[in-house]
Amino acid sequence: MSVEDYGYTFREAYALLHGGRPDEPPDSDERRPGEPLEDYLARSRAEALGRAQRQLDAVDPPEALRDAHGLLLRLLTSAVEADEALGQQVRSYQCGQFQESVAHSERLQALVAESARLDRELIAALRQAEESRPGTLDEMGIETAARPDESGNAVE
């Protein structure tokens, strides 16, 4: 698979993790008759995350992007787990099971913190891929931002 083709799959999965693309409609089935809105939102997101995971699992990433590929798969898995924890937290709260709700909330907090760490690792892996093979991110269709120096000023 070319870096350019892989880049499209990578960008789509990453965009999904961060709320999708603002100029594109959601890629999901319609809301089912009688389906509560929160159930529809959870189902459609779970379906989209599952599709993204299957697409990434089905491709062999370019060598320079293997670490980033693995991290993106871990982020997708973490997103599924976080969505499940949120759903469990809300259901427990609605049923008056407040201790259980707090436990799910704490699990959710840990998953969000882990996802933030993985996201930082992913960015570092992408930078490493670019350093080891200049032009990789451009081929993937990913714009690079200038890195800040120690004082916070952008540097190339």
Q: Domain containing 16: what range?
A: 3-136
The CA angle 118-8-60, to the nearest 5 degrees, is: 70
pTM recorded for the entire structure:
0.80
Query: Considering the domain boundaries, does residue 50 fall inside one?
Result: yes
Residue 46: pLDDT over 70: yes
CA distance 97 to 156: 52
CA distance 39 to 45: 10
Residue range 30-57: mean pLDDT, rounded: 85
Residue 5: pLDDT over 80: yes
Residue 101: pLDDT over 90: no
**Structure confidence at residue 148 as a pLDDT band (50, 70, 90):** low
The tokens describing 99, both together, are: 């201790």
Number of domains in the chain: 1
Residue range 50-68: mean pLDDT, rounded: 92
Residues near 83 by beta carbon (within 8 Å), at least 6 away in sequence: 42, 45, 46, 49
Residues near 156 by beta carbon (within 8 Å), at least 6 away in sequence: 146, 147
Mean pLDDT of all residues in the chain? 85
Query: Considering the domain boundaries, does residue 154 fall inside one?
Result: no
Query: Considering the domain boundaries, does residue 63 fall inside one?
Result: yes
Please tell me which residue, 90 or 70, carries the higher pLDDT value. Answer: 70
Please tell me which residue, 34 or 74, carries the higher pLDDT value. Answer: 74
Query: Considering the domain boundaries, does residue 145 fall inside one?
Result: no
Q: Quote the pLDDT of residue 119.
A: 93
Query: Considering the domain boundaries, does residue 98 fall inside one?
Result: yes
Query: Considering the domain boundaries, does residue 144 fall inside one?
Result: no
Q: Quote the pLDDT of residue 53.
A: 93
Q: Quote the pLDDT of residue 130.
A: 93
